[in-house]
Chains A and B, each alone.
Chain A
Amino acid sequence: MRGQMTHLDTDVLAEFRAGLITGRRGGRITAHLGGCERCTALDEQLAGVRSLLASVPAPAMPDSVAQRLEVVLAAEVAQRNAAGQAAVRGAAAPADQAERAGGDGARGPSASRRPGGNRGFRLLALRVLAPVAAVVVLGAGVYGLSHLNLGSSSSSAASSTAGGAARSAPSAVAGARSAEHANAPAAGPSRGTTPQSRGITPASFSLVTGQRNLTQAGLAQQVRAELLVPVSARSTKTPPRKLRGCVARLADGHVLKLVESVRFEGRPATLIVARTGARDTAWIAAPDCSDTYSHVLATTTLPSGISGP
């Protein structure tokens, strides 16, 4: 048998083992392998390549990639929701009203349509990050209203990061929360434990001790990323009394999802996230925020679907 054909080429053997060579030619290869140690050894090595490849475990997706994809996915969901709402609003709202909504005239609860009724269609073209940006702008409206609620607003002028433009775009959802703040009497730390509150209440939360630097520009995305890390996996401490008061005042009985010490635009601050109805609200509180002083540096809202701790 040996000598009936020359030694087998690696490619030929590989094709044979892949089932690509059959019939008489395949029979000759089988016969040759039966009598040729050299080609049998090559055949075994080739089989070993497959075995080796199969033995390498599939790499798990790194957490950083997983978090990034979750943020993008959340933005896609928000965009799809916005597109659906825009279609509904667009059918009802004349275009000129929508255009006007960008100006100072469209302020306050009387603007029953969200600003940018027409903007929803534009969002469709702006791809992934557009709805995030829209959320930030809408959420920033809270800043303006919270700011009005300060009572001592003159003392916080230095931290006016949300800017005047934000006031022209109040969010119906966030605005409603702020209206509650405005109507609420000065609140103590115990005020958060209302009978209807569920889960973590402001009286019992832990402060996650982080060093993350958040920025106004990417706030919604950054908050989403923070929410994806379970509190149980992070170091926490008991929050100081002043912060408990601040959280109780801001979250106001809503279920807390996260309270974390962060930096905001490089300065110490506290991130507070609570489930507020259909959307979560995130506040960036200044260090002097307390039960009598809602010193909010920035705010945003998020779809409540983000998995929280």
Chain B
Amino acid sequence: MPDEAAPADYELLRRHVAGDADAFGELFRRHRDRLWAVALRTLCDPDEAADALQDAMVSAFRRAGDFRGESAVTTWLHRIVVNASLDRLRRRAARPALSTGDEQAFEALVAQDGDPARTSDTRLDVDAALRLLPPQQRAALVLVDMLGFSVADTAAILDTSPGTVKSRCARARARLLPHLAHLQGNRSPGRSVSPAQGGDTA
């Protein structure tokens, strides 16, 4: 992933491993909003997302010495966050969770998911629609379509092949289509189509 901050990220991680008490915090704060978005969108639950992000942060703090530089630091951080999020989803899979793709819950969710300030926002519908997806599809879609990661970086984050990422994204988009088509007229004007519309960049 082309990441202008990568050298500085790596330097912060190196300083952290060397014993600098502030370096990791600076690194984490730098990326926390995107890491939060990944956890929140993957888990579809703010409390769960906070727990997952905490698990991931502690894990990254302790395992920073294992980072070998095969990927960008941001890719490594996102990978830990995604794994922590998917772990949580697996653990709660026994529950009749909305996150596993319960079509019947969709309308109820749209009606319930509360903050009145944003009920007119497409975000609400998008959030609800995302819950319809299987976790692996959702994670891929969030990373590629919502956070703008390349297929290659997403494959690295999800520890899978680029082809699998493309496939998961394609199925996810097809599945969301009937639930989001009605929103497409509501988009803010002038919003460009996401990168590489004619095919996922690898």
Contact = CB atoms under 8 A, between A and B. Distances in A.
A72 B181 contact: no
A65 B167 contact: no
Contacts of B33: 58-61
A15 B167 contact: yes
B21 A77 contact: yes
Interface in A105-126: none
Contacts of B170: 11, 14-15, 17-18, 20
Nearest to A22: B199
B148 A13 contact: no
Given A17-B197, A61-B32, A53 B145 contact: yes
B8 interface: no
A56 B122 contact: yes
Interface residues of A, number: 42
Given A58-B147, A73-B28, A51 B167 contact: no
A27 B19 CA distance: 57
B54 A69 contact: yes
A149 B60 CA distance: 45
A169 B61 CA distance: 29
Nearest to A303: B21
A156 interface: no
Interface in A26-62: 45-62
Given A20-B166, A51-B193, A52-B126, A305 B177 contact: no
Interface in B54-103: 54, 57-58, 61-62
B176 interface: yes
B34 interface: yes
Contact of A52 (B148, B169, B174, B180): B180
Contact of A18 (B32, B54, B192, B200): B200
A60 B123 CA distance: 13
B110 interface: no
Nearest to A84: B19
Contact of A49 (B36, B37, B163, B173): B173
A58 to B, nearest CB: 4
Interface centre among A18, A50, A59 (most CB of B within 10 A): A18
A80 B21 CA distance: 9
A64 to B, nearest CB: 8
A241 interface: no
A288 interface: no
Given A18-B199, A55-B191, A48 B46 contact: no
A54 B141 CA distance: 10
B199 A45 contact: no
Interface string B33-50: 110110010000010011
Nearest to A54: B194
A61 B25 CA distance: 15
B113 to A, nearest CB: 13
Given A60-B36, A73-B61, A303-B21, A18 B177 contact: no
B25 A70 contact: yes
A45 B197 contact: no
A242 to B, nearest CB: 37
B5 interface: no
B152 interface: no
A227 interface: no
Contacts of B194: 50-51, 53-54
A53 B179 CA distance: 12
Given A14-B173, A50-B145, 14 more contacts: A13-B174, A14-B174, A18-B169, A18-B173, A20-B166, A48-B181, A52-B126, A52-B183, A54-B193, A58-B37, A59-B37, A65-B36, A66-B32, A73-B28
14 contacts: A13-B174, A17-B170, A17-B199, A18-B173, A46-B177, A47-B193, A51-B191, A54-B148, A54-B191, A54-B193, A55-B122, A68-B50, A73-B25, A305-B22
Interface of A: 10-11, 13-15, 17-20, 45-62, 65-66, 68-70, 72-73, 76-77, 80-81, 84, 128, 303, 305
Interface of B: 19, 21-22, 24-25, 28, 32-34, 36-37, 40, 46, 49-50, 53-54, 57-58, 61-62, 122-123, 126, 141, 145-148, 163, 166-167, 169-171, 173-174, 176-177, 180-181, 183-184, 187-188, 191-194, 197-200, 202
